[in-house]
Amino acid sequence: MTVYPPGLVLTELEFDVPLSYSDPGGEQITIFAREVAAPDGRDRPFLVFLQGGPGMEASRPTAHPSTPSWLGRALKEFRVLMLDQRGTGRSTPVATLEGMSPEAQADYLTYFRADSIVRDAEFIRNELNVERWSVLGQSFGGFCVLHYMSAAPGGLTEAFFTGGLPPIGRHPDDVYRATYARTLQRCRRYYERYPADRERVHRLQARLAEGDVMLPGGDRLTQRMFRQLGWMLGMSDGAERLHYILELPEKSPGFLHDLEAGLPPFSRNPLYAVIHESSYSDGTVTNWAAARVQPEEYETQAELFTGEHVFPWMFDDYGALRPLRDAANLLASYKWQRLYDAGRLSDCEVPAAAAIYAYDMYVERSFSEETAELIPTMRTWLTNEFEHNGLRADGGRILDRLISLARNH
């Protein structure tokens, strides 16, 4: 179906693909994609957008003003294909997987990492008879793009990364030690900006210890859930968003409503929680890495927030995640396949450019630089002007810079 909102031409596409590409005749799932074009640009080359996550669908586009913010720049020379990655959005969703044993749930969930997403993209490219296309990966989408360059570079014209150039061959323990260090730094900076919030957080934590605070969605708000508000601190407006939640009177309905909305979207996107650590597994067992390497400061300093970290206790505290608790524990002991072939990447001929954010709280800068050094065609833009959400904050300028870098302008 094609529709024509002001300034855009949107074509909705659906593809039936195998759950497992090693069993093409087995269970099938649906992948939804939306082709976005300017009215005079329906014959332009494709730019495939792979969004952050894992477990989150693609942006929903508008033209006035352009949403997402990079779309206006992209449509000057591309058609954009926005892929609802498997398990998200209008693709076959992953919810609680009712009626399946924990073992069956865990097996099913192994097919939702970057490797399967790239196989979906290649399936769609062949269905559309596209020889090559460009790709743009934001955050986890960049992890998918790097796997694309490693596994199927022949399908790519050029590759762009924003806040999502992942480490190769590093253990998830290394990743989470680095992201905790960044998170603790952000906590210190937060309380320097809003010193009165420290006392308020201590008071809230004491109240939560009594166990009488219920969120509008029905979950009891625990101390450790409350700490997860810190995931916002990695965004350009995150400190202010957090402060504006904490400044509300505790007994106002707005406080609990905004607090619940500020937590990571585990209830809306359970896939995000259940396979998050696997995104960093390049051939290893994760074994709840973030929980194992959590710094000792969290034992004694109640005001500290966590960042983009997942924990086994979440599958008790969040009601929407409880049906996946046993499967999540099975996946924590699962040995994942390698995602990246360092040898192939060192020989890669696909032009590529990456925006690396100097103080990124989600994807460690030093690891991104290590990866960039390996790829001969990779040009990098190291900047402290943006946080992890740079593509959302000033996407047109960032994409324009990456296009110029990749093309050696």
CA–CA gap between residue 9 and residue 117 (Å, rounded): 25
Nearest to 210 by CA among 171, 250, 170, 242: 250
Cα 239 to Cα 162, 208, 348: the distances in Å are: 21, 22, 39
The rounded mean pLDDT for the chain is: 96
CA–CA gap between residue 106 and residue 43 (Å, rounded): 42
The verdict on pTM exceeding 0.85 is yes
Cβ(278)–Cβ(175) below 8 Å: no
Residues near 282 by Cβ (< 8 Å), separated by ≥ 6?
A: 167, 168, 169, 170, 336, 338, 339, 340
What is the four-CA torsion angle of 280, 187, 320, 88, rounded to 10 degrees?
Answer: -50
pLDDT of residue 409: 54
pLDDT of residue 157: 98
What whole-number percentage of the chain has pLDDT above 70? 100
pLDDT of residue 285: 97
Q: Which helix (H) or strand (E) holds 50?
A: strand 46-50
Could you report the per-residue pLDDT of 135-169, keeping only the tens digit for each? 999 999 999 999 999 999 999 999 999 999 999 99
What whole-number percentage of the chain has pLDDT above 90? 96
Residues near 79 by Cβ (< 8 Å), separated by ≥ 6?
A: 35, 36, 37, 41, 42, 44, 45, 46, 47
DSSP state of 131: S
CA–CA gap between residue 142 and residue 136 (Å, rounded): 7
Nearest to 295 by CA among 182, 213, 408: 182
Cβ(50)–Cβ(117) below 8 Å: yes
Q: Which residue type, as a one-letter code, is found at position 333? A: S
Could you report the per-residue pLDDT of 244-264, keeping only the tens digit for each? 999 999 989 999 999 999 999
Sheet containing strand 378-383, strands side by side:
2-3, 9-18, 28-37, 79-84, 46-50, 133-138, 156-162, 352-357, 378-383
Out of 26-30, 68-72, 176-180, 190-194, pick the least confident: 68-72
Residue at token pair 């996407």: 395
Give the chain's domains with CATH numbers.
Answer: 2-169+339-406 (3.40.50.1820), 172-332 (no CATH)
pLDDT of residue 66: 78
Q: Which residues pair with 32 in a beta bridge?
A: 14, 84
Cβ(362)–Cβ(163) below 8 Å: yes
Of the pLDDT bands very low, low, confident and very high (cuts 50, 70, 90), residue 373 is very high
Residue 64 has pLDDT above 90, yes or no: no
Give the mean pLDDT of 381-400: 96
Residue at token pair 């300017």: 38
DSSP state of 56: -
Q: Which residue type, as a one-letter code, is found at position 388? A: H
- Pairing mode, strands 62-63 and 9-18: unpaired
Cβ(27)–Cβ(92) below 8 Å: no
Could you report the per-residue pLDDT of 186-235, keeping only the tens digit for each? 999 999 999 999 999 999 999 999 988 999 999 999 999 999 999 999 99
CA–CA gap between residue 395 and residue 374 (Å, rounded): 26
Could you report the per-residue pLDDT of 320-369, keeping only the tens digit for each? 999 999 999 999 999 999 999 999 999 999 999 999 999 999 999 999 99
CA–CA gap between residue 398 and residue 392 (Å, rounded): 10
Residue 372 has pLDDT above 60, yes or no: yes
Tokens of 301: 């300093």
Helix (H, G, I), strand (E, B) or coil at 80: strand
